[in-house]
Amino acid sequence: MTSLKNTVATGVIAGAVALTALPAVAAEKWDMPMAYSGSNFHSVTGAEFAQCVTTGTGGEIEITTHPGGSLFAGADIKRAIQTGQVPIGERLLSGHQNESAIFGWDSVPFLVSSFDEHDKLYEAAKPAVEEVLAEQNLTLLYSVPWPPQGLYFRDEVNSVADMEGLKFRAYNNATSRMAELTGMLPVTIEAAEISQAFATGVADSMISSGATGYDRKVWESLNYFYEVDAWLPRNYIMVNSDTWAGVSDANKNVINACARMAEYAGTWRAKEYTGFTMAGLAAGGMSVGRASDQLMDELKAVGETMSAEWLEAAGDAGQAILDAYNAE
């Protein structure tokens, strides 16, 4: 963990602070809720972003992060920003795909499986995401991907038939639908509740990154992690648009500079964290490896169904994202 925090990514954030520092004045305090544990790389990056803004604005805007769902539960963060209960916060937007299919662009199974492919798809999807957010009184500041999603199980699984009846942690429409199509039972569980859910038998399995499993020490309850690289979801740092409109141009420049550095640092960490957490899961006692050919083939068939369903729901806007991605 220490090696990850003391990286060039941290240095870039520090550089932004040094370049933008202004004389200190009375602070406008912004609370920033985050859903994941303070040790998670998203939360670490968010804390550095907050410090960058606080220092860079000379104290005119002081951001305090609240990780681990301590201020608002993950599912409530987006609404809290929209309604001005807090000015800023972080949310996994695919958790709100019921509001707009566009929010689910990053959870279409097997559309992309690597960071490079995902980055290209994000650039294609970003304008559409920002358009929907603007309609909801939200302004995107930066976004950071998770590592590729893999499957966690208590017992060995080699086919979709082996998944029948398992209680599956769901965190968005895609995970719920995957559970339905594989015969599992979706159970909605926030990230902060994962450890307890597995320990008490509320859930037997999930699809998530190695980062989430490592942070929550799931090896205490689960035994298998299968690398399937299903998709790479993203977390988004958003600000209330009314609040943003009241920020001075000088401070907007500072915040945008800190945001660019945070996106770079967070993405760097996501890539670095992938191998680190795989090793950590194995060290914790889990069996870590690629899924069997049979399981992969069956999962990709499920992915084709889900992709078609997403495209139908997203309509022309979804097709435009795919066309832009394929044209690059």
pLDDT, mean of residues 135-162:
97
155-201 per-position pLDDT tens digit: 999 999 999 999 999 999 999 999 999 999 999 998 889 999 999 99
Instruction: Identify the pLDDT of residue 306.
Output: 97
More confident residue, 135 or 18: 135
Q: Where are the beta strands (DSSP E) in 199-258?
A: 205-208, 224-227, 234-240
pLDDT band at 27 (very low <50, low <70, confident <90, very high): confident
Please determine whether the domains at 2-146+234-278 and 150-230+286-327 fall in the same fold group of CATH.
Answer: yes
Picking from 222, 199, 218, the residue whose alpha carbon sits closest to that of residue 37 is 218
Torsion of CA 80, 82, 85, 88, to 10 degrees: 90
- pLDDT beyond 90 at 53: yes
Is residue 130 within 8 Å of residue 253, measured between CB atoms? no
Query: Nearest-5° angle of CA 251, CA 30, CA 71?
Result: 150
282-297 per-position pLDDT tens digit: 999 999 999 999 999 9
Please list, in sequence order, all residues whose beta carbon lies within 8 angstroms of the beta carbon of residue 182, skipping any fewer than 6 positions away: 160, 163, 164, 299, 302
Neighbour count for residue 11 (Cβ, 10 Å): 12
Instruction: Identify the pLDDT of residue 3.
Output: 45
The CATH superfamily assigned to 2-146+234-278 is Bacterial extracellular solute-binding protein, family 7 (3.40.190.170)
Burial of 25 (0-12, 13-18, 19+ CB in 10 A): exposed
Per the listing, tokens 């889900």 go with 306
- pLDDT beyond 90 at 80: yes
- pLDDT beyond 60 at 12: no
Picking from 165, 166, 300, the residue whose alpha carbon sits closest to that of residue 222 is 166
Per the listing, tokens 């202004």 go with 22
Is residue 157 within 8 Å of residue 227, measured between CB atoms? no
Per the listing, tokens 């220092």 go with 55
Instruction: Identify the pLDDT of residue 2.
Output: 41
Structure tokens at 310: 């997403």
Helix H, strand E, coil C: the string for 123-134 is: HHHHHHHHHHHH
Instruction: Identify the pLDDT of residue 5.
Output: 42
Instruction: Identify the pLDDT of residue 25.
Output: 52
Distance CA 64, CA 61 (A): 10
Instruction: Identify the pLDDT of residue 7.
Output: 47
pLDDT, mean of residues 105-134:
96
% of the chain at pLDDT higher than 70: 92
Q: CA 322, 313, 109, 128 torsion: positive or negative?
A: positive
In the chain, where the domains are located? 2-146+234-278, 150-230+286-327
pLDDT, mean of residues 300-322:
97
> With respect to CATH, is domain 150-230+286-327 assigned 3.40.190.170?
yes
The pTM (predicted TM-score) of the whole model is 0.88
229-277 per-position pLDDT tens digit: 999 999 999 999 999 999 999 999 999 999 999 999 999 999 998 889 9
